[in-house]
Amino acid sequence: MTMDDTPRRSPSRVHQWLELAETVLGNASDRMDAINIFPVPDGDTGSNLYGTVRAARAAVAEETTEDVGALMSLAGRAALDQARGNSGTLLAVMLIGMSEPLTGHERLAAPTLASALERAQTSCWAALSDPQEGTMLTVLAAAARAASEHAAGLRGQPDDQVMSRRELGAALDAIVGAAWQAVVQTEGQLPALTAAHVVDAGGMGLLLVLDSLRATVMGTSIDPGLLDGLHGFSASDPHIHEGLDSPVGYELMCSISLDPLTAATLRFELNDMGDSVIMSPVGTSGEESGEPNAPVRWRLHVHVDDHAAAEALVRKAGEPENLVITSLQDPETAG
Cα 50 from Cα 71, distance rounded (Å)? 19
Q: Domain coordinates of the chain in residue numbers? A: 11-224, 250-327
If you compute the radius of gyration of the chain from its CA atoms, what whole number of angstroms results?
Answer: 20
- Element at 214 (helix H, strand E): helix 201-218
pLDDT in single tens digits along all 335 residues of the chain: 333 444 344 568 999 999 999 999 999 998 898 888 887 777 789 999 999 999 999 999 989 899 999 999 999 999 998 888 889 999 999 999 999 999 999 999 999 999 999 999 999 999 988 888 999 999 999 999 999 999 999 998 999 999 999 999 999 999 999 999 999 999 999 998 998 889 999 999 999 999 999 999 999 999 888 988 888 776 555 556 555 555 668 999 999 999 999 999 999 999 999 988 999 988 665 445 456 678 899 999 999 999 999 999 999 999 999 899 988 876 554 44
Say how many CA atoms lie within 13 Å of 115 toward its Cβ.
Answer: 11
Q: Give the burial string for 8-28 (b: 16+ CB within 10 Å, else e).
A: eeebbbbbbbbbbbbebbbeb
- This prediction's pTM: 0.86
pLDDT for 332 equals: 54
Q: Which of 261, 198, 155 lies closest to 31 in space, CA to CA? A: 198
pLDDT for 14 equals: 95
Same topology between domain 11-224 and domain 250-327: no
pLDDT for 86 equals: 87
Architecture of domain 250-327: 2-Layer Sandwich (3.30)
pLDDT for 214 equals: 97
Cα 101 from Cα 148, distance rounded (Å)? 14
pLDDT for 252 equals: 94
Contacts of 214 (CB under 8 A, 6+ apart): 169, 172, 173, 175, 176, 220
Q: Does the domain spanning 11-224 belong to CATH 1.25.40.340?
A: yes
Cα 134 from Cα 311, distance rounded (Å)? 30
pLDDT for 82 equals: 85
The partner residues of 297 in beta bridges, in order of sequence, read 257
